[in-house]
Structure 1
Amino acid sequence: MQHSVSTPMSVTTPNFSDRIGFAQLTRRAFEGGNLHPLREHLLARIAEGTAEAGEGLDLSLIAQLLGEKEAGLVIQSEVLAFHQLFRTRCAVPKPRLRVLALAADIDMGGNTPIEFLLEGSDIELLTLYVIKGVGLPATLPDHDVAIVVASDSEECHEALAVIERAAPHWPRPLLNRPELIGNLDRDKLYRLLAGIAGLDIPVTAHATRAQLSGLSAGTIACESITDELHFPMIVRPRGTHAGVGLAKIDDASALAAYLAERQEQDFFVARFVDYASPDGLYRKYRLTMVDGKPYACHMAIADRWDIWYLNAYMAFSEEKRAEEAAFMLDFDSAFAARHRSALDEMSKRVGLDYFIVDCAENKNGELLVFEADNTAVVHNMDPPAVFPYKPPQMRKIFAAFAAMLSRHVKTGEGSAA
């Protein structure tokens, strides 16, 4: 039975299914563990008809971690069709708090990986999937605080809309309000952050294949798409993540070659910003914003503009790691201090209790924002022997996240109350 979103919501004892969960399984895969025996065990349980719903969801995640995304999503949808509430156990027998995460039926990267933030804590996590045709239950599982973990992806829009309609009647503090998450879309964020002193964010505009074809043929000008667009530019297919299809296009002929290799019909375009430091290297930062305060998450250094932490090969450079360690150690008095005004204003405009920012510094020393979202992975999986400075920093972030939850429980007010 679905809840009528126009009436007050009540809570009841939760009917959850336990699962191993995202953090533990991802850690096993990250550390090179063999997930195949566990997969075979879960498949056998399903064949015997003895598997619980949580085991089915674990099997779905294992399939995705093994590169079988489509199969994993099929399993996930089949499980969620008959059960939507799952528990990830905490580190103590009697939890101090119970958090309800509101998730969407999407691949493993489409919801906030909140389990990493709560790993090893005394906070119990319940995850409620809000799926098409089912919506929210008539009576919510009892919890102390709720947080929306669905992303701004198009696949999550329906789930966010359901939660948004119910939000005014929510019986507990509700964090990361759904109506704010949509502002993180690439073509909305720049509008939200426009005009902040000391912050640079390129206009990201939607362009159709026909427009880009015209641009490559010289029949239309860059300015017909957006005023500040020019070569070189950044192009990516709309709806892609993790750098899929991302390219720097230097001129019309390069754009024609790019389109010849892509089948998509819709793209995002933005001006390219050369943010190389004086030594010729690019430095990209990931910040975690918790309750309005920035925390250093990582720093990637590479000789290429399209940096991700993995392609920066930080583990193979003692010099790079030393710089990242200094960045974390001096963050509050250095990076955060330099950009305090811009970060404060960005946090106010975004309005979310928890989100992540990928950024750099441009040649004028301004904070150059690439993107902000609520689903980037913040974890403590890197080997301490190689990255001894990371565990203390990650624990600082996790403690801030737990303190934020506790504060909202204590005040009994959501972020928009």
Structure 2
Amino acid sequence: MQHPVQSPISTTDAPFAERIGFAQLTRQAFEGVDLLPLRDHLVARISEGTAHAGEGLDLSLIVQLLGDKQAGLAIQAEVLTFHRLFRSPCTVEKPRLRVLALAAAIDMGGNTPIEFLLEQSEIELLTLYVVDGVGLPEQLPDHDVAIVVASDSEECREALAGIEKAAPYWPRPLLNRPGLIGNLDRDKLYRLLMGIPGLEIPATIHARRAQLADLSAGRIACKDIASELRFPMIARPRGTHAGVGLAKLDDASALAAYLVEREEHDFFVARFVDYVSPDGLYRKYRLAMVDGKPYACHMAIAERWDIWYLNAYMAFSEEKRAEEAVFMLDFDHAFAARHKSALDEMSRRVGLDYFIVDCAENRERELLVFEADNTAVVHNMDSPLVFPYKPPQMRKIFAAFTAMLSRHAKAGEGSAR
């Protein structure tokens, strides 16, 4: 039953389903483990009628990891019709803290991969899926602290709205409030961060296909779409991630060719900022903002502007890895110190307890922000033989995250049980 959110919400020892979970299954896929036997085993159990809800949710994830997103989502939707609370593996029998993650019924990349942040932490993680048309239960599962892990995507809007409506009546500390997550939209973030000294973020503008077609044909100018827009520009279909459909368009003819290749009707466009370093290479950074403090997640170095960690091929360059190691080692008194004022003000304006920033430095060495979200993967899966400097850095981030949860949980100990 959905809570009417007109009075404080009570808690109860709600039944949960055990699952292998996101972290373990994703790590196996990352390491090249063949997931087909496990998939077939779970399918057989479902066919026999002996599977439980946690196994169904694990099957949904495995199918997505194997490349069939739609089939995985269909399995997940079926599971969530009869069970919505799941427990991830915990390293101890008696956890020191109970965390309730509030997730949306979306694909595997649409919720914060919080399991990675809590591995080996002696913290119990319960994940409650907030399903459209169903909402929150009348009584919440008992917990010490809650955190919203749903993203700012369109598919999560109803879930976020339901949680936000209930937030004033929440019985425990609630982190990453839904109303703030919505500010991470590409076309909202720049409005939030514009004007911060030492920080550059190009305006990201929603443009319809018809507008871009008119621009490519010379019927309108860039300024007719937005005053800041000009060639060269960056374009991507609205709602895409991980570089899907991302392109740099130098002029109107390039835009026309781009539209021929794309079928979408809505796009994001922004002016291109050439952030190339003096040595001709591009450097892109991922930071985790935890409780207002920045932490280095990775540094990607490549000859191309459209860079992310995988296409930088860091594992194949000892020189690149050596630079990344120095970046992490010196981060607090180098990068973070250099951009302290901008990072502090960005964290204050965003207001979330935990979020991720993808950024660089422009030619004036200001902080150049590309995007921010709450669902990017922060993990410790990279080989310690190839990246020996990463495990200590990841453990530092995980420790900061768990300390943040503990601090808020302690502050909420006086809440009604």
C-alpha separation in 1, matches of 2:248 and 2:120: 41
- 2:183 aligned counterpart, secondary structure: helix
How many angstroms does 1:14 deviate by?
2.0
How far the C-alpha of 1:343 sits from its partner, in A, is 0.1
Distance 1:83 1:260 in 2: 44
The size of the alignment, in residue pairs, is 414
Distance 1:152 1:250 in 2: 30
Match of 2:338 in 1: 338
Match of 1:103 in 2: 103
Name the structure 2 match of 1:314: 314
Q: Report the CA distance between 1:160 and its aligned residue.
A: 0.1
1:297 aligned residue:
297
2:283 corresponds in structure 1 to 283
Equivalent position SS for 1:294? strand
Indicate the residue corresponding to 2:411 in structure 1.
Answer: 411
The runs of 5 or more residues in structure 1 that have no matched partner are none
Give secondary structure in 2 for the equivalent of 1:121: coil
| Conservation of the 8 A alpha-carbon contact between 1:147 and 1:174 | yes
Assess if the C-alpha contact under 8 Å between 1:180 and 1:352 holds in 2: yes
Matching residue's letter, 2:229: L
Deviation at 1:413, TM superposition (A): 8.4
Task: Give 1:384's aligned amino acid.
Answer: P
Give the CA RMSD over aligned residues. 0.8
| Residue of structure 2 equivalent to 1:142 | 142
The answer to whether the 8 Å contact 1:102/1:147 transfers is: yes
The aligned counterpart of 1:249 is: 249
The CA deviation string for residues 280-338 of structure 1, in whole angstroms up to 9 with x for no partner, is: 00000000000000000000000000001000000000000000000000000000000
1:389 alignment counterpart? 389
Contact 1:11–1:142 (CA<8 Å) still a contact in 2?
yes
Cα distance in 1, alignment partners of residues 375 and 169 from structure 2: 25
Q: CA deviation at 1:133?
A: 1.8
Q: Which residue of 1 aligns with 2:3?
A: 3
State the match for 2:119 in structure 1. Answer: 119
1:71 aligns with 71
Task: Provide the C-alpha distance between the structure 2 equivalents of 1:281 and 1:13, rounded to a whole number of angstroms.
Answer: 54
SS in structure 1 of the partner of residue 8 of structure 2: coil
Rounded to whole Å, the distance in 2 between the matches of 1:140 and 1:412 is: 16
Map Cα deviations across residues 141-170 of structure 1 (whole Å, 9 max, x no partner).
000000000000000000000000000000
4+ residue stretches of structure 1 with deviation over 4 A?
A: none
User: What's the CA shift for 1:10?
Assistant: 0.2
SS in 1 for 2:347: helix
Q: Matched residues in 2 for 1:170 and 1:105: separation?
A: 21
Whether 1:350 and 2:347 are equivalent positions in the alignment is no
Counterpart of 1:370 in structure 2 is: 370
How far has the Cα of 1:405 moved from its partner? 0.2
The corresponding residue for 1:159 is 159
Report if the CA contact (8 A) 1:173-1:413 is conserved: no
User: 2:129 is aligned with what amino acid?
Assistant: Y
For residues 82-125 of structure 1, what are the alpha-carbon distances to aligned partners after superposition, in whole Å with 9 as ceiling and x for unaligned?
11000002111110001000000000000000000001110010
Show structure 2 runs of 5+ residues with no match: none
Match of 1:181, SS state, is helix
**Distance in structure 1 (CA, Å) of the matches to 2:59 and 2:367:** 41
Aligned partners of 1:411 and 1:159: how far apart in 2? 26
Q: Normalising by the residue count of structure 1, what TM-score does the alignment of the two structures yield? A: 0.99
Counterpart residue number, 1:16: 16
Q: How many Å apart are 1:5 and its aligned residue?
A: 1.2
Structure-1 separation of matches of 2:273 and 2:413: 41
**Distance (Å, rounded) in 1 between the aligned partners of 2:62 and 2:246:** 27
Q: Counterpart of 2:295 in structure 1: which amino acid?
A: Y
1:201 matched to which residue of 2?
A: 201
2:370 maps to a residue whose letter is F
The aligned residue for residue 361 of structure 1 is 361
